[in-house]
């Protein structure tokens, strides 16, 4: 098995190995989080491990990612994130001051996101069997009544909105890794999206799909939605907000910003009649100030994402092949 | 920082680094799982990472541990375990057939335990930065009305019951590691204790304390309870069930069975008036067939565990210093 962040490989393993072995019905929907009912409460439940290298990067750290990554997967079900678990795998020899800084960052990120870390675990492995710190968080949140947000609900006519500039997190991590310099310092967009989602739900509980385009970027997220719902997605290429610094860095690195990870952005499929009001609510929130419409959901070419280029032509936006950026989250 | 399973180090890190950094009130009680209320439901929430070496050992695998470890931490709050998350950190180069066998074992263990794996994550790290497979699970369960089980509730007069033979898991793993042979093959006791706890709760919801004596063994578990509740614990040394094979292996390895990990046992503090009935219910369950009273909770020597030896003397059962057995879970 080759290495990488595991995004593309993860999808194959989940389909061919994990889902068949685990066999439960809830896993099958493969959302950002699982939606379940327990003791009468409708809950979202999600987990992610974090293996980012380096542990600290412009705009954040593995501690921020561990909170925001899980909080965002919960928020993508429309849930209000509430409680987190947090498990450290420490490599023998890691500096205690580094562990303390990561813990501090994690605690502060949790307070900013309005969630409480309530349980955890700590394991230690020998030097050469880890990489300083690996972190896992799992989270639970409450899904409000009337909310049913999942990829399968994308419908022709839906307006596709992205909450802001794309490609920033992946480029920020790459900019400090292997000493690459692009002149301008690019900071990760890592942020908790629970508040932004609440603002959107205040307009209407009837949002169809939300997804945080992390590993695999916007391109992978749109493809997964198109396949899950059996719909087409038509993107206006010029409407996709890519900052100049990101575009320049991607040119140097040979990357396509459509496939670069984001850690503080979401893409939404919104029924046309609510789109304008939802967009306005997003723009009124600090994390959605640059929200914009990038395309629409169509009945044509089901399962495929097609971009209309600046010159009026069209091209297929494929799933990314393999991993563009290993260990960026 | 030195290496080890992280049990003793975990406790220090949690007290001095993690709890202060995270700062929430729920973490402070440091139970096997956190008890919380969400959407009107009383939930238990817990997590553990698993770094056991080798991945397969007599009587189980990392997949079994990952299910039973988290299920048991939930059951120790009296919760009925319901849903699990499951996150793999794969080392580049790990055989796909090994990943598949672990996934299969995990799925089967989940079905046996009556829980459903509903969400997960997969990351891949470079060769030399992992050890084949690290696993994390988090779990949620429902706490029945009227149940309030936690270390702080241990009270003088409580009868201390252990559900069966101790020291088996740690010795089973050691027996295959570094090629040690003890003549007799010792199989891990790894098992899910949800059903046993249900049988105990059917006698009375008023169990005071349950704990699964994993890393640090029975000795650590009893000490943690004594400190948390500010009570003393008096153990009849001869009553503690240690199989001959475990005693012999421990003698060879220079270990004290009181500090060797168990993965399918629990220790219970039960109000005296219910002790006999609870013990009978345990013995009627396959996982409690060898349940036995090992001592009592006392008002004397608060925070301390004292053993009455076979010769009529007493000795203090300290907290284990450092780690006896690294990476046994
Ligand atoms: N090891 C696994 N076992 C079970 N389900 C898994 C596993 N790995 C991933 N999944 C499931 O596959 C889907 C995709 O997982 P993935 O981790 O790619 O999503 P994500 O967390 O939203 O993205 P990222 O990890 O980049 O933040 C999710 O529904 C997740 O629950
Ligand atoms: N990194 C951490 N962050 C927050 N809390 C932690 C962390 N590590 C451990 N804890 C908390 O400390 C307590 C003891 O944890 P520990 O992992 O030793 O218990 P356990 O899971 O019952 O044992 P084991 O891991 O051997 O199965 C628990 O309440 C746990 O939630
Ligand atoms: Mg996601
Ligand atoms: Mg995620
Ligand atoms: Mg633990
Ligand atoms: Mg425990
Ligand atoms: Mg545990
Ligand atoms: Mg994930």
Ligand 1 atom nearest residue A76's Cα:
22
Closest residue by Cα to residue A263 from A153, A166, A189, A327:
A189
Pick B318 or A9 by higher pLDDT. Answer: B318
Q: How far is B79 from chain A (nearest CA, A)?
A: 11
Q: Do A129 and B125 touch (CB under 8 A)?
A: no
| Selected residue of B11, B38, B67, B73 to mutate for chain A interface (largest A Cβ count, 10 A) | B38
CB A149 within 8 A of CB A76: yes
Q: How far is the CA of A151 from the centre of ligand 7 (A)?
A: 34
Alpha carbon nearest to ligand 1 atom 27, residue: A214
Q: How far is B238 from chain A (nearest CA, A)?
A: 33
Measured CA to CA, the distance from residue A273 to residue B316 in angstroms comes to 73
Q: Name the DSSP class of B202.
A: H
Alpha carbon nearest to ligand 1 atom 26, residue: A215
Please indicate whether residue B100, judged by its CB atom, sits closer than 6 Å to ligand 1: no
Token digits for A169?
């997190």
pLDDT at residue number B4: 47
| Selected residue of A113, A119, A125 to mutate for chain B interface (largest B Cβ count, 10 A) | A119
Q: Do A34 and B118 touch (CB under 8 A)?
A: yes
**Whole-number average pLDDT of chain B:** 94
Q: Which residues of A touch B40 (CB under 8 A)?
A: 39-41
Write the CB contacts of A16 (distance below 8 Å, at least 6 apart in sequence): none
Ligand 2 site-directed mutation target among B20, B32, B134, B217, most atoms within 8 Å of CB: B32
Closest residue by Cα to residue A292 from A161, A197, A176:
A161
Range list for CATH 3.30.1330.10 in chain B: 31-142
Is pLDDT at B1 greater than 90 in this prediction?
A: no
Please indicate whether residue B211, judged by its CB atom, sits closer than 6 Å to ligand 2: no
Which residue of B47, B90, B142 is in closest CB contact with A138?
Answer: B47
Ligand 2 atom nearest residue B212's Cα:
22
Measured CA to CA, the distance from residue A45 to residue A27 in angstroms comes to 11
Q: What percent of chain B has pLDDT over 90?
A: 86
Bond into A317 cis (ω within 30)? no
Per-residue pLDDT tens over the stretch B214-270: 999 999 999 999 999 999 999 999 999 999 999 999 998 889 999 999 999 999 999
Alpha carbon nearest to ligand 2 atom 18, residue: B7
Please indicate whether residue B5, judged by its CB atom, sits closer than 6 Å to ligand 2: no
CATH of A151-316, one of 3.90.650.10, 3.90.1300.10, 3.40.50.10440, 3.30.1330.10: 3.90.650.10
List the pLDDT tens digit at each of the 329 positions of chain A.
444 455 667 888 999 999 999 988 888 788 999 999 999 999 999 999 999 999 999 999 999 999 999 999 999 999 999 999 999 999 999 999 999 999 999 999 999 999 999 999 999 999 999 999 999 999 999 999 999 999 999 999 999 999 999 999 999 999 888 677 767 789 999 999 999 999 999 999 999 999 999 999 999 999 999 999 999 999 999 999 999 999 999 998 889 999 999 999 999 999 999 999 999 999 999 999 999 999 999 999 999 999 999 888 999 999 887 766 789 99
Task: Give the 3-state secondary structure of chain A.
Answer: CCCCCCHHHHHHHHHHHHHHHHCCCCHHHCCCCEEEEECCEEEEEEEEEECCCCCEECCEEHHHHHHHHHHHHHHCCCCEEEEEEEEEEEECCCCHHHHHHHHHHHHHHHHHHCCEEEEEEEEEECCCCCCCEEEEEEEEEECCCCCCCCHHHCCCCCEEEECCCCCHHHHHHHHHHHHCCCCCCCCCCCCCCHHHHHHHHHHCCCCCEEECCCCCHHHHHHHHHHHHHCCEEEEEHHHCCCCHHHHHHHHHHCCCHHHCCCCCCCEEEECHHHHHHHHHHHHCCHHHCCCEEEEEEECCCCCCEEEECCCCCEEECCCCCCCCCCCCC
Reduced to 3 states (helix: H, G, I; strand: E, B; else coil), residue B306 is: strand
Element (H, E) at B227: helix B217-229
Q: Do B103 and A17 touch (CB under 8 A)?
A: yes
Range list for CATH 3.90.650.10 in chain B: 151-316
Measured CA to CA, the distance from residue A84 to residue A141 in angstroms comes to 9
Q: Taking phi first (over 0 means left), then psi (-120 to 50 degrees means alpha), and beta for anything else, what does residue A92 get?
A: beta
Alpha carbon nearest to ligand 2 atom 4, residue: A120
Ligand 1 atom nearest residue B117's Cα:
4
* b (16+ CB within 10 A) / e for A150-163: bbbbbeebbbbbbb
Task: Tell me which CATH code domain A31-142 carries.
Answer: 3.30.1330.10
| Selected residue of A25, A61, A98, A125 to mutate for chain B interface (largest B Cβ count, 10 A) | A125
Angle, helices B272-283/B194-203, rounded to nearest 10 degrees: 140
């Amino acid at each position: 098995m080759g290495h990488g962040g595991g995004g593309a490989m993860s999808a194959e393993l989940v389909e061919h190995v994990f889902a068949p072995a685990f066999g439960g019905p809830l896993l099958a929907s493969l959302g950002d989080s699982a939606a379940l009912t327990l003791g009468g409460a409708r809950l979202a439940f999600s987990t992610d491990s974090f293996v980012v290298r380096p542990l600290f990067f412009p705009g954040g750290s593995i501690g921020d990612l561990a909170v925001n990554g899980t909080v965002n997967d919960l928020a993508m079900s429309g849930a209000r994130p509430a409680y987190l678990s947090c498990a450290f795998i420490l490599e023998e020899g890691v500096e205690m001051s580094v562990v303390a800084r990561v813990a501090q960052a994690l605690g502060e990120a949790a307070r900013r996101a309005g969630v409480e870390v309530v349980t955890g675990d700590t394991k230690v492995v020998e030097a050469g069997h880890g990489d300083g710190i690996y972190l896992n968080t799992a989270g639970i949140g409450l899904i409000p009544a009337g909310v049913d947000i999942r990829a399968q609900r994308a419908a022709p006519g839906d307006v596709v909105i992205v909450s802001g500039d794309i490609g920033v997190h992946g480029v920020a991590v790459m900019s400090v890794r292997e000493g690459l310099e692009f002149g301008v310092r690019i900071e990760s967009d890592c942020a908790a999206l629970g508040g932004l989602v609440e603002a959107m739900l205040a307009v209407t509980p009837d949002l169809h799909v939300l997804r945080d385009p992390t590993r695999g970027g916007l391109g992978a997220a749109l493809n997964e939605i198109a396949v899950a719902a059996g719909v087409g997605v038509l993107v206006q290429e010029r409407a996709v907000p890519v900052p100049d610094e990101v575009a320049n860095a991607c040119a140097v690195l040979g990357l396509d910003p459509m496939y670069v990870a984001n850690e503080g952005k979401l893409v939404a499929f919104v029924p046309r009649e609510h789109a304008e009001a939802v967009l306005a609510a997003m723009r009124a929130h600090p994390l959605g100030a640059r929200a914009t419409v990038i395309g629409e959901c169509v009945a044509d070419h089901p399962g495929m994402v097609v971009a209309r280029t600046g010159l009026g032509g069209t091209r297929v936006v494929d799933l990314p092949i393999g991993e563009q950026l290993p260990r960026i989250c």
